[in-house]
Every structure is written in structure tokens, then in C-alpha cells.
Amino acid sequence: MKKKLLLAGLTFAVIAVTWIPGAAGQILERKQIKPVLVVMDVQNKWMPFMSEGDRNTAPGKINELIALFREFGHPVIKVYHSDPERGPEPGTEQFEFPSSIDVTDDDMGLVKEHASAFTKTDLERILKEDGKNTVFLCGLSATGCVLATYFGALEREFMVLMVEGTLLSHDASHTKVIEDICSSMTLEEVRETLEDPYL
């Protein structure tokens, strides 16, 4: 239901943009979603600070989401946070994702020093050069870096969606709030969207 409401709103926006007076109300073309999955900061350093409930459920859902993107041939970008003062240092075990997360060496990696993955990185350029217009987000922290990246994507005029069940934060109730207040989809709704990526 949430996907239908979201897509209805996005479709209305597309109609508004593509409407031409005198064209008998015809829509020139359906907008195609060109998706990318951004997996945020699921690193050994930060995972222990997340709520136990999120740690128990989100990794499996993240892997399901990664598998969906691989199934449909869409890119996965893994984002690493490295604070100049607090680390973790690239190349250390604390910097890496846990082995339980199904990212690979073939997935593009991006290192950031700020909350948003768009701040002082090449992410915007990379997405635009690859023709991507829709960012799906998962990882941590829902109330921190994921949320900052969500708004960073909106500011740069990307369509952006949180994926329910794939987010983590220090308090699982806060994770749920973020899923509720942001545009989000369930895993099943993501599959439906990837199967029919047109608005």
C-alpha cells in the first residue's frame, strides 16, 4: 500500500512535468527508475553501538536486498565512514564490513568523513555519470549517516528511499520512526519496483 501511495505521488509529479497544453493531456513518456543500492557504514567499528534488535534482524535483510539488486543487475555501493580523529583507519579490521554482509570486492567502495555520503565525496558525480536517478538506502545509523545521506540525495534531486528492515540505529524504536517519516519501501515493494521500474 505504501508503495502504491508513493508511486502515485511520484507519477503525479511526472505528469505535472511532462504535461503540454494542447496535447490532449498526453504524457510524453513514463519515467524510468534507474536504481542504485547504497549500503551505509555497516562496519565492525560501529555495529556494536547499534541496538541488539536491529543487529539481530537487519543484516539478513540487508543481504536479501543486496541479492535483489544483483538479481536485477543493478549496482551496489558500499560506503565506509572514517573519522579523522576516531577512525577507523582504512585497511584495519574495524574499518571493514562484517563477513556476514554479502558485499564483494567488485562492489564500488566509497570512504567518507562526514555524515552524508554526498558531502565532499564523488558520489553525486558517480551516480550522474552512470545515469542513476534513484537511491535505495540501507545500513547505519538510521538516525545519523543514513538520514543525512537521504536528505543529501533529495537536495541533489535524486529520488531516494529507505528500505524497511535493513536499517540500524542505537535504539530500534528510533529506527522505526525513521522508516515511518521518510519515503520507504518493504523488500517486497523493492522487488516489485525493480521488476517494473517505470512510473
Q: Per residue in 160-185, pLDDT tens?
A: 999 999 999 999 999 999 999 999 99
Asked whether 8 and 15 are in contact (CB, 8 A), the reply is no
Cα–Cα distance between 55 and 51 in angstroms, integer? 6
Asked whether 2 and 186 are in contact (CB, 8 A), the reply is yes
Cα–Cα distance between 167 and 55 in angstroms, integer? 9
80: cell is 565506509
pLDDT, tens digit (0-9, with 9 covering 90-100), for 83-112: 988 889 999 999 999 999 999 999 999 999
Q: Is the pLDDT of residue 188 over 60?
A: yes
Angstrom distances, CA of residue 167 to CA of 45, 50, 137:
16, 10, 8
171: cell is 535504539
Residue range 33-61: mean pLDDT, rounded = 97
Query: Distance between terminal CA atoms of the chain?
Result: 15
Residue range 181-190: mean pLDDT, rounded = 97
Residue range 32-43: mean pLDDT, rounded = 97
Q: What's the confidence (pLDDT) of residue 41?
A: 98
What one-character-per-residue DSSP string does 155-174 give? HTT-EEEEEEEEEE-SSHHH
Q: What's the confidence (pLDDT) of residue 6?
A: 56
Q: What's the confidence (pLDDT) of residue 12?
A: 35
Could you tell me the pTM of the whole model?
A: 0.87
pLDDT, tens digit (0-9, with 9 covering 90-100), for 112-162: 999 999 999 999 999 999 999 999 999 999 999 999 999 999 999 999 999
Which domains are seen in the chain, by residue range? Answer: 1-31 (no CATH), 33-195 (3.40.50.850)
59: cell is 543484516
